[in-house]
Amino acid sequence: MTTHSSHSDHQNDGPGHDHEVMIADFRKRFWVSLILTVPILTLSPMIQSFLGLEQALAFRGDTYLLLALSSVVYFYGGWPFLSGLLSELGERQPGMMTLIALAITVAYFYSAAVALGLPGTVFFWELATLIDVMLLGHWIEMRSIMGASGALESLARLMPTEAHRLRDDDSSEDVPVTELQPGDRVLVKPGEKVPTDGVIVSGRTSLNESMLTGESQPVERKEGDEAIGGSVNGEGAIQLEIRKTGDETYLSQVIEVVRQAQASRSRTQNLADRAAGWLTYIALSAGGITLVTWLLLNQTFNFALERMVTVMVITCPHALGLAVPLVVAVSTSLAAASGLLIRDRAAFERARDLQAIVFDKTGTLTEGRFGVSDVVTFGDRSEEDVLKLAAGLESQSSHPIAAGILQSAEERGIQIGKVTDFDNLPGQGAQARVDGVMVHVVSPGYLRSEHIDVDGQATEQLMEQGKTVVFVLEDKRPIGAVALADIVRKESRDAIDRLKSMGVQCMMLTGDNTAVAAAVARELGLDDYFAEVLPEQKAEKIREVKARGLKVAMVGDGVNDAPALVEADLGIAIGAGTEVAVQSADIVLVRSDPRNVADIMALSRATYRKMIQNLLWATGYNAVAIPLAAGVAIGVGIVLNPAVGAALMSLSTVIVAINAKLLGRTSGQTTS
């Protein structure tokens, strides 16, 4: 088909509304043309003869009515192909539009001449059915690839619309973020988004920047530290001094990277277009040769012209118009049932050739949440005792570390004791009485400030692995430590194993530190990893992998992944991630299951095989049909007249449709 699909295409097509208008236009033209085809078939002499109803259906002036109805179908239903012809010829790239326009134009004007007195046979019913099928094919295809990228709009929506600007007397006023100027002070309350880039001038908190930077752990921030617009404030209220606004902000720079990456995507011309391009040249050549040959053989001009028209109409088989879109429709349906939403079909087709998959870590290979990985005990306390006291205290906190400890305790069936006198220790931890015992859950910095010594060999090893370690004190005496890490998804191991068995290299890209990345890479058996990668560098890392001569897919879920998703040969978004990652991707994994990446490749390969089979059949039958239509076997009494040619077209279309439906059976073993 002629409908190309790429990120740059989506951008050039304009808003998604325009795309919907185009689909509605094809749908309307199809139904109008189909309705008019009924009387055209009824009035066509060939159909009347085939049904033996010439006397019953014929009436005076029926030929002119047939011409009028066919004219409406040609000019109204055929307009997208006629305008497409001009576009393709302007680009000097004849494709499906040129082939269709050529066939319907030859059929229409020849048939019109016959209707007005030229001896010969009209092709009006072939004209109408060809336009119907081609409109249906384009409508199916356009629906299957709809989903113009809304990445830039989604990025912009990450920013809050209002901010609490502070007056000189420290009272606040709510103002639109667009009114903020460098030097303004704003208040950011717990749980709110930072309105724009700035520096903390008062307060201490933790900021969740995972959707922006890929850093899985909330980052502690204090006076003098920078805060990125769009990050989510944790447990403490802070005051910011605005440093950057508008295009200068971090998020705006990410938007620009996405815009540039989208614009740089190359066009991918699909297989049907290439086949149509060749058939265009074949139709013109075969038609011209047929006309000249019969004239040289002293046949009448009318006979030679009819042979030429038959050749040129038959050269554009109905099946070719459905060969790809039918497979696309079936594969899209199968993919959706398996939790794979295909947004860019051209990129999906390229998935069969992927040689490397680069996964984002946080939220993709991992769950993006803290979980207890290790419990270390000091003295005679058991792991359960340590976790019970820690969970009791943390039940009063909203910190992500607290949530991880609590969930681990629940999973182990540990009952939490009575908690009183809870007190937060900003930047260092918390303290409370649990069942009457004074308990502290604190950072290594607290131990240093209080000069508390612990046997640090085991905990140091955990820290070297990039894990977050907090210490549990009972009456200021260390009784244990709890190590937390971003939990690796159980499905990730199976996903990596399956991809490696398919000959694909598996890599990881993360903003986390090297120790964390190395630990995850070892656990999953990855071929390579990139750690401490700044958001603006992620697309660059994808280019590095591509420079190795590999076809690359990127799998991610965060804002910081958006440029890399667009830069990759195939962008795959985890459905549970941010909307911008989803909108930047070619395929969305609704179930957030990394194993579906292997399913994508399996389905892509099966889909490609079906497309090739259909295209070979749709174009291959011309090897027999064209010579017979030209009259090469007339000496033995075999002439492919328009009726037989139309029957062959119908048979070819049925075979293509059945073969497309069989995709579900051939790929059923590969999709989960």
CA distance 21 to 523: 49
Buried b (16+ CB within 10 A) or exposed e, 294-313: beeeebeeeebbbbbbbbbb
| Largest Cα span, the chain | 114
Helix 96-115 × helix 318-337 angle, to 10°: 140
Buried b (16+ CB within 10 A) or exposed e, 361-387: bbbbbbbbbbbbbbbbbbeebeeebbb
CA distance 119 to 169: 96
> What residues does 442 pair with on adjacent strands?
429, 471
CA distance 113 to 611: 38
User: 399, 553 in Cβ contact below 8 A?
Assistant: no
Task: Tokens for 405, please give them.
Answer: 């400890």
User: 98, 89 in Cβ contact below 8 A?
Assistant: yes
Buried b (16+ CB within 10 A) or exposed e, 584-600: bbbbbbbbbbbbbbbbb
CA distance 489 to 497: 14
HSE-CB of 85 using CA atoms within 13 angstroms: 13
Catalytic residue, chosen from 360, 512, 569, 599, is 360
CA distance 393 to 419: 7
Give how far Cα 81 sits from Cα of 13, 103, 276, Å: 18, 10, 13
Catalytic residue at 561?
no
* Residue 559 DSSP code: G
Tell me which amino acid residue 512 is: D
Task: Report which secondary-structure segment, H or E, holds 530.
Answer: strand 528-530
Phi/psi at 592 (nearest 5 deg)? Answer: 55, 35
User: 346, 270 in Cβ contact below 8 A?
Assistant: yes
Which of 644, 629, 642 minimizes the C-alpha distance to 293?
A: 629
Count of Cβ atoms closer than 10 Å to residue 59 Cβ: 9
Helix 596-620 × helix 642-661 angle, to 10°: 170
HSE-CB of 381 using CA atoms within 13 angstroms: 20
Give how far Cα 494 sits from Cα of 365, 488, 536, 589, 593, Å: 11, 12, 30, 16, 10
Tell me which amino acid residue 264 is: S
Tell me which amino acid residue 124 is: F
* Residue 265 DSSP code: P
Angle ∠(70,76,82) on CA atoms, nearest 5:
100
Q: Which residues participate in catalysis according to the annotation?
A: 360
